[in-house]
Amino acid sequence: MVFFVSLLRPCIFVLIWQTRTLAVSPSPGGDCAKLLKTFAEVVSNYTYCAVNNSRPFRFCCVCEKVYVTALNGHRSIVQDNDCHNDLVLAEKYQIVESAYDFVVNLWKSSNCPACFENDKDGTPKEIKTEITEFFHKLDAVEHCFYNNSQIHVIPVPVNHSASNSSAKVLSVCDSCDKSYGTLKESYKNIESGPEGYKVCADVSASMNYTRQRWSNNFHCVKIHSDLVSVVALTVFFCFLPIIFYTSLRLQGTASKDKKLGTSLRVNHR
Amino acid sequence: MQRSQRMKSVSHMTTEDSPLLSGEHSGIQPKMSRRRNTTEGSANDSQLESTNSRENVSIMGSVTEPGSLQKISSKYESLDYDTAENTLYFKEQKSYTPEERLRININRWVIMFIIGFVTAVIAFAIDISILLLANQKYTLIKKYIDRCTSGDCMSTPFSLWVALDVLFVLIAAVLVVYGEPVAAGSGIPQIKCYLNGVLVPHVVRMKTLVCKVVGVVFSVAGGLACGKEGPMIHAGAVVAAGVSQGRSTTFNKDFKMFEYFRQDHEKRDFVSGGAAAGVSAAFGAPIGGVLFSLEEGASFWNQSLTWRMFFASMVSTFTLNVLLSIYRGDAMDLSNPGLINFGTFEGQTYSSYEIPLFCVMAIVGGLLGALFNAINHHLCIFRMRFVKKNWVRVIEVLIVAVMSTTTAFVLIYFYQDCKPIGAANISRPLQFFCEDGQYSAMGTLVFSTPEESIKNLFHLPETSYHVATLAGFAPAYFLLATWTYGLFVPSGLFVPCILTGAAWGRLWGVALKSWFPAGHWGDAGSYALIGAAATLGGVVRMTISLTVILMEATGNISFGIPIMIVLMIAKWVGDFFNEGLYDIHIKLQGVPLLGWDAPVMAVGMNVSDIMSRKLVCFKSVEKDKTSHHNGFPVVDYLGSADDEDPPASNTPATFGTVRGLILRSQLIILLKQKVSACLACRVFIVYTYSPRVVSQGEGHKLKLKDFRDAYPRFPPIRNVSISQKERECYIDLRPFMNPSPYTVNENSSLLRVFKLFRALGLRHIVAVNEYNEVVGMVTRKDIARYRMWSHRGQIGLEEVHILEASSIHDSF
């Protein structure tokens, strides 16, 4: 019996303690609630923007403002000490932090910082000039694709009405070759920049997409395999070791015979 | 091979009798030589030849055949791990103040720190140079390839690639062949020998280090199927040997530091630390490094040394980490602990029911390893026989370089396994004949440095490689790796084995998935890892250290169990057919290496069976003379036995009671110092035939330091000029000899002596009879001639020959 009571006592205490804490702060204070709500809205905006702009991929350039507001929303929560304690630190399942991590990770994993001139603390300021130039060239290529073919997946603003004849499909490769070439050149410049393979995802995704259209839809890639000369060189190179080792072998055995001969002679004597 | 000679009665080769240092023969010949000449002249004696012809031929054959494993070369000398506790030593020990002893102990730690640091800096330099060179090369070739896929000029990038590779490899080959041939290969066999107690000539010299480091940069950047990890271990050992001595004999510069450590015993301790630091820098595996040194040099060990080695390893991996992090932009990122980086295996796991599958892979790996070793062994025999001239060696290297590049190009050319660029994150996608926006999967394997390829195989997603791509790449690279190892370039063995293994392991993983799509199989990258471990284990047959190295390189403890099981099985399977590649190369060189265990089947063999009886003994006060062994017992003669008067050949020769042991190097120094020190101070004393009358010669000014200064390159005896008059002088050896050398009774068993050698790191031991009279001398070579072999489930004892130095190919 005593044992039972002693077991019961802490339970009662816990119950009382819990109701008391619940009574004190059932929900965050007024300011904090507002901050939380703002943050929720900003994050959902950001998510919407991200998914919406994933094809054609313009996430970095379009969602930049939403991203900055999301950062600010989080910052205001963190900077307010009370709210930070209440909303973030008191929770085991820190949804605010997880959401913030999601926001930042998505941004960084898409290499979005590479599209912008950034502040010291990583806030994007404005789009780099080379990126804008790239998109100008991309527009030109898209125009050309559109004007010269009937296949167009992305609605492109049209200057003059297109005539959709099959003959023009064939001419896509010829007529767009130049603009496609300059686009590739521009991409290569961005790629060989100081950050190496960290290329802004807007750029790399649209470049990939354009390339795939160029090769898969229009079949413009011409491959010259140059089979004869490659095979000739290969055969030549393969003969080198054969000749080398055979000659070594022959020479080795010849000299051995000689040695053996002399030694036999000596022995005979 | 020649198992037929497994237990032949002791057939004396000519070399046993020829002095290690040929050259000046003094008037006094070793006393037994005349007797031996009569039995040995049989080779030229026609009568005996006719009766014994068959045996002679077989012996001759084994002598002239360079590729034999059943031999020991007499050119390798042992290291002296035993300190000679002579009078000088005690005098010096007494002179140390407690502060000095403390300083010596602290210096040990300081040296270990410097070793770790310098090794890491070298590793960093190698890594960055390879990275830059390879980047330049591949970028240039890629430019031409991109231009030529649409034009009609594919042969241009092909030729360019071949030309660049040949150029790079030419530099490496010339450095090694004309610079320092011992820098060829991975260096692990040589370090293994060193830690075992055998000095491979030139192995820990500055010049070797330079040739090795520069050479490995160019051989890896030149696209050979080799890695930079093994050479890194060698480099660490050389650094240790150099730093601990506080001077460079190559540059003839003495910093007057660390003079206390100028002896084999201390140097070996530091070299084991250096090897550990090298492993640690190569794989980011500090514990693996310590265990590597433990596994290879475990016969003499103590705890404080282990702790210091671990310190050196940690310093090495941390320094490399910091340097690489600084280079990659984020100074305190610390995510590059080693040269080879397997990447993190987080999320790539295996299930316990896959372990049996791993065992199957281990068997395959063991078989592949045995095949690798067999091919490489035969190739090495061929090289020893036929590739002898220096320029021929260079040409062979170049041909292998041409073929490596050709294979790479042809593989890319004919395997059109194209994947969209979007999916994977690869640094240098090669388009080749793929459509725009795609890359060639084969390109990620052969158009990059091997380290990157390994990472790709471990971590790229499931669908990145087509089965055919892997099936084409694995055998091609396997053959290239077999061909490359043993060439005259610095070439590590780890990376090619890992790469081959990763390729077929991944193939196995992909195949499993396509055969049984319903099963829950682990990541293809995990299978690649296990395949790599199996192949590596099958080739090098290392045990605990390899397990820990791989575990640390993956940074995943849960892979420990499968890796261990796989390595174990691969070793068993491989050992069924042949030995580990390092052991094969050690035996090809005829290094008298003492194995882990004594040859247990040599029961019944005693010291008296194996010792060499032809000794040169000195009396306590002795005349100058020259001879073969490196240690000379000092005896008191009992009456009649005198070196001018050889005993009759039938009676067992005894020399006198043991008084002490003096080393050849000590004698040489004594002889060298004579002009300045001895004549003046009467160390050379006129011969009076009665040792008692001889005055002690207290006036000599020789100190232990004089012996130490000459270390490690003692001048050969022929450089010491001794006038005829001085030959008649006598020298008092008592202050210099080791008065308490290890002796062993002539009736002790071979096994016991083996254990003594192994545990004490001995170079020679004096065999005595029951009256404590010298009857013979057992050296390391006498013991190493008896060893166990095991082949296809049978084991036996074999006795191997000791060959003259000249008849052996002079490098690994």
- Given this model, what pLDDT does residue B179 score? 87
d(C-alpha B324, C-alpha B329), whole Å:
9
Each residue's pLDDT tens digit, B355-375: 888 999 999 999 999 999 999
- Chain B CB contacts of A244 below 8 Å: 395-396, 399
Residue B452 has pLDDT above 80, yes or no: yes
Element (H, E) at B72: strand B71-73
Instruction: Determine the Cα angle at B641 with ends B638 and B645, to 5°.
Output: 160
- Chain B CB contacts of A211 below 8 Å: 435-437
Closest chain A C-alpha to B150 CA, distance in angstroms: 5
Question: Under an 8 A CB cutoff, do B421 and A208 touch?
Answer: yes
Question: Searching chain B, which residue's CA lies closest to the CA of residue A266?
Answer: B44
Question: Under an 8 A CB cutoff, do A233 and B410 touch?
Answer: no
- Given this model, what pLDDT does residue B690 score? 32
- Given this model, what pLDDT does residue B808 score? 41
Q: Mean per-residue pLDDT for B738-753?
A: 80
Residue B748 has pLDDT above 70, yes or no: yes
Question: Searching chain A, which residue's CA lies closest to the CA of residue B50?
Answer: A267
Mean pLDDT of chain B: 74
Closest chain A C-alpha to B175 CA, distance in angstroms: 22
Residue B693 has pLDDT above 50, yes or no: no
- Chain B CB contacts of A215 below 8 Å: 435-438
Question: Under an 8 A CB cutoff, do A221 and B158 touch?
Answer: no
Q: Select the more confidently predicted residue: B177 or B754.
A: B177
Q: CB burial class (10 A; 0-12, 13-18, 19+) of residue A13?
A: exposed
Rounded to a whole number, what is the distance in angstroms from the first to the last CA of chain A? 118
Question: Under an 8 A CB cutoff, do A208 and B435 touch?
Answer: no
Q: Are B379 and B486 contacting, i.e. CB atoms less than 8 angstroms apart?
A: yes
Q: Pull the structure tokens for residue B721.
A: 């000029």
CA gyration radius for chain B?
29
How many Å is the maximal CA-CA distance in chain B? Answer: 98
Q: Select the more confidently predicted residue: B404 or B781.
A: B404
Q: Are B631 and B664 contacting, i.e. CB atoms less than 8 angstroms apart?
A: yes
Q: Please indicate if any CB of chain B lies within 8 Å of the CB of A234.
A: yes
- Chain A CB contacts of B148 below 8 Å: 224, 226
- Given this model, what pLDDT does residue B677 score? 36
Question: Under an 8 A CB cutoff, do B154 and A249 touch?
Answer: no
Residue B552 has pLDDT above 80, yes or no: yes
- Given this model, what pLDDT does residue B631 score? 57
- Given this model, what pLDDT does residue B614 score? 65
Mean pLDDT by 10 residues, chain A (269 residues): 47 45 51 85 91 85 88 86 78 83 88 80 78 86 77 47 45 79 83 69 82 77 75 89 88 69 50
Q: Are A46 and A63 contacting, i.e. CB atoms less than 8 angstroms apart?
A: yes
Burial per residue of A25-51, b for 16 or more beta-carbon CB atoms within 10 angstroms, e otherwise: eeebeeebeebbebbeebbebbbebbe
Question: Under an 8 A CB cutoff, do A240 and B386 touch?
Answer: no
- Among the residue ranges B250-264, B410-424, B673-687, the one predicted with the least confidence is B673-687
Residue B809 has pLDDT above 50, yes or no: no
Q: Please indicate if any CB of chain B lies within 8 Å of the CB of A226.
A: yes
- Given this model, what pLDDT does residue B78 score? 73
Q: Select the more confidently predicted residue: B42 or B403.
A: B403
d(C-alpha A214, C-alpha B436), whole Å:
7
Question: Under an 8 A CB cutoff, do B154 and A224 touch?
Answer: yes
What letter represents residue B805's amino acid? A
- Among the residue ranges A10-19, B179-188, B355-364, B624-633, the one predicted with the least confidence is A10-19
H helices within B636-769, ranges in order?
664-673, 679-681, 704-710, 724-727, 750-760
HEC string of B222-263 equals CCCCCECHHHHHHHHHHHHHHHHHCEECCCCEECCCCHHHCC
Residue B189 has pLDDT above 70, yes or no: yes
Q: Which of B161, B316, B135 is nearest to B243 (CA)?
A: B316
Question: Under an 8 A CB cutoff, do B402 and A237 touch?
Answer: yes
% chain B with pLDDT above 90 = 20
Residues paired with B645 in a beta bridge: B642
- Chain A CB contacts of B437 below 8 Å: 207-212, 214-215
- Chain A CB contacts of B152 below 8 Å: 224, 226
Residue B793 has pLDDT above 80, yes or no: no
Place of tokens 């035996």: B587
Q: Select the more confidently predicted residue: B424 or B181.
A: B181
- Given this model, what pLDDT does residue B651 score? 38
d(C-alpha B71, C-alpha B807), whole Å:
11
Q: Pull the structure tokens for residue A258.
A: 């000689």
Question: Under an 8 A CB cutoff, do B386 and A215 touch?
Answer: no
Question: Under an 8 A CB cutoff, do A237 and B152 touch?
Answer: no
- Given this model, what pLDDT does residue B751 score? 81
CA-based torsion, B111, B117, B118, B120: positive or negative: positive
- Chain B CB contacts of A232 below 8 Å: 155
Q: Which long-range contacts (CB under 8 A, 24 or more apart) does A258-266 make?
A: none
Residue B26 has pLDDT above 60, yes or no: no
Closest chain B C-alpha to A22 CA, distance in angstroms: 40
Which of B398, B435, B439 is best to mutate for the A interface (most A CBs within 10 A)?
Answer: B435
What letter represents residue B369's amino acid? G
Q: Select the more confidently predicted residue: B699 or B682.
A: B699
Question: Under an 8 A CB cutoff, do A216 and B435 touch?
Answer: yes
Out of A197, A215, A226, name the one closest to residue B427 (CB): A197
- Chain A CB contacts of B162 below 8 Å: 237
- Given this model, what pLDDT does residue B621 score? 53
DSSP codes, B589-628: TT-----SS--TT-TT-BHHHHSB-----EESEEE----S
Question: Under an 8 A CB cutoff, do B396 and A252 touch?
Answer: no
Question: Under an 8 A CB cutoff, do B420 and A251 touch?
Answer: no
Each residue's pLDDT tens digit, B483-536: 999 889 998 889 999 999 999 999 998 888 888 887 777 788 889 999 999 999
- Chain B CB contacts of A225 below 8 Å: 154, 413, 433
Detail the DSSP E strand segments found in B497-552.
Answer: none
Q: Mean per-residue pLDDT for B739-761?
A: 80
Instruction: Determine the Cα angle at B416 with ends B413 and B420, to 5°.
Output: 125
- Given this model, what pLDDT does residue B569 score? 94
Out of A208, A244, A248, name the one closest to residue B437 (CB): A208
Residue B542 has pLDDT above 80, yes or no: yes
Residue B425 has pLDDT above 70, yes or no: no
List Cβ neighbours of B278 (8 Å cut-off, separation of 6 or more).
B119, B123, B232, B233, B234, B235, B236, B237, B289, B316
HEC string of A201-229 equals HHHHHHHHHHHHHHHHHCCCCCCCCCHHH
Closest chain A C-alpha to B245 CA, distance in angstroms: 44
Element (H, E) at B73: strand B71-73
Highest-confidence segment of A78-87, B631-640, B712-721? A78-87
Residue B38 has pLDDT above 60, yes or no: no
Q: Please indicate if any CB of chain B lies within 8 Å of the CB of A221.
A: yes
d(C-alpha A169, C-alpha A147), whole Å:
10
Each residue's pLDDT tens digit, A171-188: 777 778 888 888 888 888
Residue B568 pLDDT level (bands cut at 50, 70, 90): very high
Q: Mean per-residue pLDDT for B425-430?
A: 68
Q: Please indicate if any CB of chain B lies within 8 Å of the CB of A249.
A: yes
Mean pLDDT of chain A: 74
Question: Under an 8 A CB cutoff, do A221 and B150 touch?
Answer: yes
- What is the three-class DSSP state of B361? helix
Out of B149, B392, B406, name the one closest to residue A234 (CB): B406
Q: Are A53 and A59 contacting, i.e. CB atoms less than 8 angstroms apart?
A: yes
Question: Under an 8 A CB cutoff, do A225 and B406 touch?
Answer: no
- Among the residue ranges B174-178, B221-225, B769-773, the one predicted with the least confidence is B769-773
Q: Please indicate if any CB of chain B lies within 8 Å of the CB of A198.
A: no
- Given this model, what pLDDT does residue B674 score? 53
- Chain B CB contacts of A249 below 8 Å: 386
- Chain B CB contacts of A174 below 8 Å: none
Q: Please indicate if any CB of chain B lies within 8 Å of the CB of A222.
A: yes
- Chain B CB contacts of A212 below 8 Å: 420, 435-437
Residue B7 has pLDDT above 60, yes or no: no
Q: Mean per-residue pLDDT for B680-702?
A: 35
Residues paired with B418 in a beta bridge: B440
d(C-alpha A54, C-alpha B123), whole Å:
44
- Given this model, what pLDDT does residue B249 score? 63
What letter represents residue B507's amino acid? L
d(C-alpha B779, C-alpha B607), whole Å:
11
Chain A and chain B share a number of CB contacts under 8 A equal to: 86
- Chain A CB contacts of B387 below 8 Å: 248
Q: Select the more confidently predicted residue: B1 or B484.
A: B484
What letter represents residue B468's amino acid? A
